[in-house]
Amino acid sequence: MLAFLKTAAILLLCLMLADLVGVIVCLVFDVAPLRGSSSALPYAIWFVLGVFSGFIALNGAGGWIAGTGDADWSERPEARRIATTALACGTIVLAALSLLFWRVFWSRGVIGGYYVPDSMTHTLTFFAAVLGAMTLARALIGPKPGAPAP
């Protein structure tokens, strides 16, 4: 339960910070008269922010769960288990947020432009990028082959 709360806290913090950055960046691109601006630009913005959020959230949650001092937690033998725990908790948090946003925003026909969480498609792109980055980071974590055991 403690691992879930730690992961949820880190992930929600990352999502909130990325949402603030995303709103500002989308607003700048919306207001600034840029040539070649397309409707795919907000998707790209939310995708990139989601990838960064996923990597940062998994690393932060894993380090907090592992309780490391000066050693890098991702090189420890139990790093894959810790990352799997953080990934599972993050998946639950993202699913719960999706259900919440469906109930509050998306089922009521709210027109939100391209801001998260108002826009369903942009939010799901953002969440999929977060989950994909967390999954990729989990796959890459663990002791290096041939490295001496600590």
Q: Report the mean per-residue pLDDT for the chain.
A: 88
Judge whether 26 lies within some domain.
yes
| Helical ranges in the chain per DSSP H | 2-31, 41-66, 79-104, 120-140
Domains contained in the chain, number: 1
Judge whether 102 lies within some domain.
yes
User: Of all residues in the chain, what percent are helix, strand and coil, respectively (each to 5)?
Assistant: 75, 0, 25
**Least confident span in 35-39, 49-53, 57-61:** 35-39
Judge whether 148 lies within some domain.
no
Judge whether 113 lies within some domain.
yes
Q: pLDDT by residue (tens digit) across 78-100? A: 899 999 999 999 999 999 999 99
Amino acid residing at 9: A
Residue 120's domain spans which residues? 2-30+39-140
Is 70 a residue whose pLDDT tops 60? no
Is 69 a residue whose pLDDT tops 60? no
